[in-house]
Chains A and B, each alone.
Chain A
Amino acid sequence: EPEVTQTPSHQVTQMGQEVILRCVPISNHLYFYWYRQILGQKVEFLVSFYNNEISEKSEIFDDQFSVERPDGSNFTLKIRSTKLEDSAMYFCASSEETSREQFFGPGTRLTVL
Chain B
Amino acid sequence: SQQGEEDPQALSIQEGENATMNCSYKTSINNLQWYRQNSGRGLVHLILIRSNEREKHSGRLRVTLDTSKKSSSLLITASRAADTASYFCATDAIGGRRALTFGSGTRLQVQP
Q: Are A56 and B97 in contact (CB under 8 A)?
A: yes
- Whether A104 contacts B43 in the complex (CB less than 8 A), given A42-B103, A42-B104, comes out as yes
Say which residue of B31, B45, B48, B102 sits within 8 Å of A43 (CB atoms). Answer: B102
Segment at the B interface, from A11-19, A71-79, A94-102: A94-102
Is B98 part of the contact surface with A, judged by Cβ < 8 Å?
A: yes
Q: Which chain B residues border A33 with CB–CB below 8 Å?
A: 98-100
In the complex the two chains form, is A104's CB within 8 Å of B45's CB? Answer: yes
Q: How far is the CA of A56 from the CA of B17 in the complex (A)?
A: 41
- For B87, the chain A residues whose CB sits under 8 A away are none
B101 at the A interface (CB under 8 A): yes
Task: Report the interface size class on chain A.
Answer: 20 to 34
What is the distance, in angstroms, from A101's C-beta to the closest C-beta of chain B?
Answer: 5
Given A95-B98, A102-B98, 16 new contacts (CB under 8 A): A33-B100, A35-B100, A35-B102, A43-B43, A43-B100, A43-B102, A45-B101, A48-B98, A56-B97, A91-B42, A100-B92, A101-B45, A102-B100, A104-B42, A107-B41, A109-B40
Q: B-contacting residues of A (Cβ < 8 Å)?
A: 31, 33, 35, 42-45, 48, 55-56, 58, 89, 91, 93, 95, 100-107, 109
